Amino acid sequence: MTEGTKPAASNPVASTAPYPATPKKPPPIPAPEGQGGSIPLQRYIVVDQFGYRPDMTKIAVLVDPEQGWNAADSYAPEGELEVRRWADGSVVFSARPTPWNEGKLDPSSGDKGSWFNFTKLEEPGLYYVFDPKNNVRSHPFEIGADVYEKVLKTAQRMFYFNRANFEKRKPFACQGERCWLQGADNLGRLQDSEARSVTDRKNGKTARDLSGGWWDAGDTNKYVTFSNEPVHQLLTAYEEKPEAFGDDTGIPESQNGLPDLIDELLVELSWLEKMQPKDLDGGVLLKMGNVDYGDPVPEQSKLERYYYPEPCSSAAIVAASEFAHAALVLRGFPQLQQRAKELGERAERAYAYYHAHPKSDACDDGTIKAGDADKPLKEQDQNAVVAAAYLFALTGKPEYDEYVIEHYAQTEPFESDQWSLYRQHQGDALLYYARLEKANAAVRNAILGRKLELSQSIDIFRMRPQFDLYRAFMRPVTYHWGSNNQRAATGNTNYDMIVHKLAKTPEDRQTFHDRAAGMLHSFHGVNPMQLVYLTNMYAVGGDACADEAYHTWFRDKDPKWDNARESELGPAPGYVTGGPNKDYCKGQPADHACTKSPVRDQPPGKAYVDTNTGWEPTNPYDKSWELTEPAIYYQASYLRLLSKFTK
């Protein structure tokens, strides 16, 4: 039997009621041909839907739901399970599952279960896990050294699709015969190429060309401060694993002699340069965008676009750190050395502006929608340490080193037991500084000592099998809006121990590797939703993917873009969605429909619905942006993690 003896619950990969709804159509790209296709799917034999590298720990999670949307389901395999070849059904491995944590309930998921370990299987191929007693199988998965290469390229192309003021056209916007085409947005009268001051809207003399860059998330606004994490994460990803990023992802700049990741970063850096106009003496504008809610279809928008005219300290120090970090990376390419020099000069001017002018955390009064782009004063000073670390590496000037020495202990890694799970760029900058030959020895030892101390004692570090049935432990409080950012950050902060050679024994290296890999697998379906948290990944091996995302392009009810199964195309492939949110609808009036949403009654790891509904106060999912909205910061953090397991 496929779903056990309890009544089958509905499948959580579509958005219509009842919660969670059953897809009306199969995936747009069917499973490959082979004997495995004749076996009924048991969704509760949970595997990474893309697969595993040969040297990875490989464990299928066998799930018996107890709480949440699928509590009526059950699955309890008996005897040995097998791994079979997808093509012909031949058995290549068999073993008995092991009960997880003595049969206890996993509180984050509301599930019990067991593990089927097939790590010994290393031969490349396409396989499935088979339960011979119940005649059911897992999703197909691949074993191979390059199993994540297509996934990485597809996810990286999110930044191409999220480019602002840019036409998405053939062949670059295509995946095979399927093309996500869009005209250039917000380039009409009084839009991005001639945006005006929001405080002097009728004055044509305030017009500035602020076109370019990336949309921040599912909206088309652009924020300097919100670019902090994605720019630093992508730069760090390249520094840590440059060989993972090729010149062949199929964007317009491919085959130009630069890695496509660098080309994408140049798109955002060019916009950031415009946000530091020459007349501001190193100062940086905070953000630009709409003054009204309700984003129109991007290329059809006629809304005028505005910016805050006064430079803001939080924007200046963020830009200083990004320009300095980018200069360090770009100077490694002969054709970009002049550009790197200019970025370094911009970084120094922005850093000087920050320290010479009054600080403010009230630059954003909410007139320009939607997110509040201000950063607290304390966080601005922490970002100054980041900027100083990269500027010291870039210039060798002692004043930058002195700032790091005086202020490093005020950064997130020294004030949080999670290192820098919420501000990854701070921890990364400190570890970067610690590797510099001229770094202060006492500060270096303090940084590395703090990282080691936390890695040995804190729950987010190391693979601790008893913590999580799905091998991807997150603290319950971490399942909030944008939890997939922390999902990736948990993997990244563990992999730091390998990158920076802080794990000294083979056993230590393996446990940190497995911890990071567990977080990666959780993006790929090994989670309580049994869902790939990337949109429309069917063409590269996904079988149950996020079919919807809250995004102004891929809007609800649009016959072309709404849903990967129900619409002509659905959202473009590779967008990382926000993730489960136990705080969904938090703070809303009691009479709002979303306060009665079933999402709020789920275990933390199941507080998710694949939906993209807009503002509909009678709909319990009308705040879908708190669940499925993608963002460039989630995307960059995931790409950094994924890159560790490629090539």
User: Six-digit token pair at 385?
Assistant: 């340490």
Q: What is the pLDDT of residues 147-158, one digit of tens each?
A: 999 999 999 999
Q: Regarding the domain delimited by 148-375, which CATH topology (the fold level of the hierarchy) does it fall under?
A: Glycosyltransferase (1.50.10)
Whether residue 210 is predicted with pLDDT greater than 50 in this model: the reply is yes
Give the closest residue to 397 by CA, choosing from 354, 441, 345, 353: 345
Cα→Cα distances 396→153, 386, 420, 437, 439, Å? 36, 15, 26, 11, 10
Q: What is the pLDDT of residues 56-95, one digit of tens each?
A: 999 999 999 999 999 999 999 999 999 999 999 999 999 9
Cβ pair 600, 584 in contact under 8 A: yes
Q: What is the pLDDT of residues 547-596, one digit of tens each?
A: 999 999 999 999 999 999 999 999 999 999 999 999 999 988 888 888 88
Q: Can you give the pLDDT at residue 121? A: 98
Interval 277-289 mean pLDDT: 96
- Report how far residue 547's alpha carbon sits from residue 24's, in angstroms, rounded to the nearest whole number: 12
Boundaries of every domain in the chain: 148-375
Q: Can you give the pLDDT at residue 1? A: 28
- Report how far residue 262's alpha carbon sits from residue 406's, in angstroms, rounded to the nearest whole number: 33
Return the percentage of the chain with pLDDT > 70, whole number: 97
Whether residue 542 is predicted with pLDDT greater than 50 in this model: the reply is yes
User: Six-digit token pair at 17?
Assistant: 């009621």
- Report how far residue 425's alpha carbon sits from residue 225's, in angstroms, rounded to the nearest whole number: 12
Instruction: Collapse the DSSP code of 633 into the 3-class scheme (helix H, G, I; strand E, B; otherwise coil) and give the result.
Output: helix
**18 pLDDT tier (thresholds 50, 70, 90):** very low
Q: What is the pLDDT of residues 589-633, one digit of tens each?
A: 888 888 889 999 999 999 999 999 987 878 888 899 999 999 999
Of the given ranges (290-294, 306-310, 487-491), which has the lowest mean pLDDT? 290-294
Q: Can you give the pLDDT at residue 295? A: 81
Q: Can you give the pLDDT at residue 30? A: 87
Instruction: Collapse the DSSP code of 168 into the 3-class scheme (helix H, G, I; strand E, B; otherwise coil) and give the result.
Output: strand
Q: Residue 41 has what DSSP assignment?
A: B
- Per the rule left: phi > 0, alpha: psi between -120 and 50, beta: everything else, 307 is beta
CA of residue 190 relative to chain centroid, distance = 33
Q: What is the 3-state secondary structure (H, E, C) of 466-521?
A: HHCCCCCCCCHHHCCCCHHHHHHHHHHHHHHHHHCCCCCCHHHHHHHHHHHHHHHH
- Report how far residue 161's alpha carbon sits from residue 284's, in angstroms, rounded to the nearest whole number: 26
| Model confidence, pTM | 0.96
Q: Which residue has the tokens 């794990």?
A: 503
Instruction: Collapse the DSSP code of 339 into the 3-class scheme (helix H, G, I; strand E, B; otherwise coil) and give the result.
Output: helix
**Per-chain mean pLDDT for the chain:** 94
Q: Can you give the pLDDT at residue 21? A: 61
Q: What is the pLDDT of residues 431-484, one digit of tens each?
A: 999 999 999 999 999 999 999 999 999 999 999 999 999 999 999 999 999 999
